[in-house]
Amino acid sequence: MDKIIVKGGNTLSGEVKISSAKNSVLPIIAASILSGDKCIIENAPMLEDVFVISDVLRSVSADIDIDKNSNKVIIDTSDICDCEPCSELVKKLRASFLIMGPMISRFGKFRISLPGGCNIGTRPIELHLKGLNALGAEVSVGHGYVEARARKLIGNKIYLDFPSVGATENIMMAAVMAQGETVIENAAEEPEIEDLAEFLNSMGANVTGAGTDTIRIVGVKKLKGTVHKPIYDRIEAGTFMVAAAITRSKIKIVGINEDHMKPIIAKLTEMGVSIEVQGQSLVVDGTGVLKPIDIKTMPYPGFPTDMQAQMMGLLSLVKGTSIITETIFENRFMHAPEMKRMGANIKIDGRSAIIEGADRLTGCEVKSTDLRAGAALILCGLSAVGSTEVTDVYHIDRGYVNIERKLQGLGANIYRKCI
């Protein structure tokens, strides 16, 4: 298992290029099932999660060609003949569930093994299933599997109890070829949902309102193949913004959409980080005096849970008391004990973390407990005294393209040790 070694203390400079959003590409690959024609995703991020969801589709006989040189994913789902993906692959990646909507829409059935719990919470899928059921699918859960069948899907009004990203996406994908109109109320508003709607519309679907809390989908008979370039990864960009702040450096981040970055820009600005938007780039200057802040994670456009761990690392080094409240996932403070090993003063009280800024962190061996936790520990390592060894790097590889090479390009002393 690889380790990432960071020798702290270097100031960063220069610019870094942001990849396309993992959380856009995964539902888009799933959505390509909807058409039997070829779909091409350009500028796709070459990430472990993208490889796994591609294998999930291959396990039902889709033909997927991933060109790592041109960052293209070419998907041909014309030969899909099976509606039960390999359960070992499904268990590897929770986002495999995004194939439920497309499968029931195109083939009128699927059988998929249930997800287990994951590190950051139990992550149930009842909202996905309620939505599919409201469209006319008969859904049953038993023996560790979800099974669904539908002779015909019919549009309906669906109010989500919680604006779940995955449930919104699954229902949208199931509804695009249903008869009549579907309205999803209290829908998730994340930019990746808008991107999925753009992809579906370019296939011939009729989706409006994505990016707001009410999405309307008028069913069409058939969808065609398309070519799509996904949006930039706002969480990767946010991670590099924190890298600048935690090392008290000034860097340029190339490849952002200002609107998508607003919740992160607002919080870093409140702390005293200076941020200048230059078109599709950000110049982030963390050389000023930084102040403690309070953060509450919320569904978009609130502060993203996927940036919570990175902010905790940064606030661990900002004099004064900060409070982070995690409202999205019930168990997303697994990075706190690892940060404490590095000298951070963090107390967990239920869903809140109280952080007393320390003068310094010290390098040691720490374990990446999930994707964003791992990235946050690398950030802590960048400013820690001495050497930090981050283990269980496979979590980080799920969602960051060449994180150590991108940080090296900014002047960080970081490398990967293959064991």
Q: Does 328 bind ligand UD1 (CB under 6 A)?
A: yes
Q: At what angle do helices 234-246 and 258-271 cross, to 10 degrees?
A: 20
Whether 186 and 163 have beta carbons less than 8 Å apart is answered as: yes
Within 8 A by CB and 6+ apart from 53, the residues are: 26, 29, 30, 93, 95, 96, 98
Give the length of the chain. 419
Instruction: Confirm or reject binding of residue 165 to ligand UD1 (CB under 6 A).
Output: yes
Contact between 306 and ligand UD1 per CB under 6 A: yes
Residue 128 binds to ligand UD1 (criterion: CB under 6 A): yes
Sheet holding 72-76, edge to edge: 63-67, 72-76, 38-41, 227-228
As a whole number of angstroms, the distance between CA 392 and CA 278 comes to 36
Give the HSE-up count for residue 13: Cα atoms under 13 Å, Cβ half-sphere: 2
Site size toward ligand UD1, by CB under 6 A: 21
For residues 192 and 404, which CB has a smaller minimum distance to ligand UD1 in the complex? 192
Q: Write out the E strands in 70-165.
A: 72-76, 109-113, 138-142, 145-149, 157-159
**Binder among 125, 197, 237, 353 for ligand UD1 (CB under 6 A):** 125
* Nearer to ligand UD1 among residue 144 and residue 279 (C-beta): 144
Identify whether 115 is preceded by a cis peptide bond (ω within 30 of 0). no
Cβ at position 163, least distance to ligand UD1 in Å: 7
For the bound state, the minimum distance from the C-beta of residue 196 to ligand UD1, rounded and expressed in Å, comes to 10
Position 303 contacts ligand UD1 (CB under 6 A): no
Cα 160 to Cα 21: distance, rounded to the nearest angstrom: 24
Question: Is 40 or 171 the residue whose CB approaches ligand UD1 more closely?
Answer: 171
Closest distance of CB 230 from ligand UD1, Å = 12
For position 162 contacting ligand UD1 by CB under 6 A, the verdict is yes
Residue 326 lies near ligand UD1 (rule: CB under 6 A): no
Among 50, 53, 57, 95, interactor with ligand UD1 by CB under 6 A? 95
- Contacting positions for ligand UD1 (CB under 6 A): 23, 26, 95, 121, 123-128, 162, 164-167, 188, 192, 305-306, 328-329
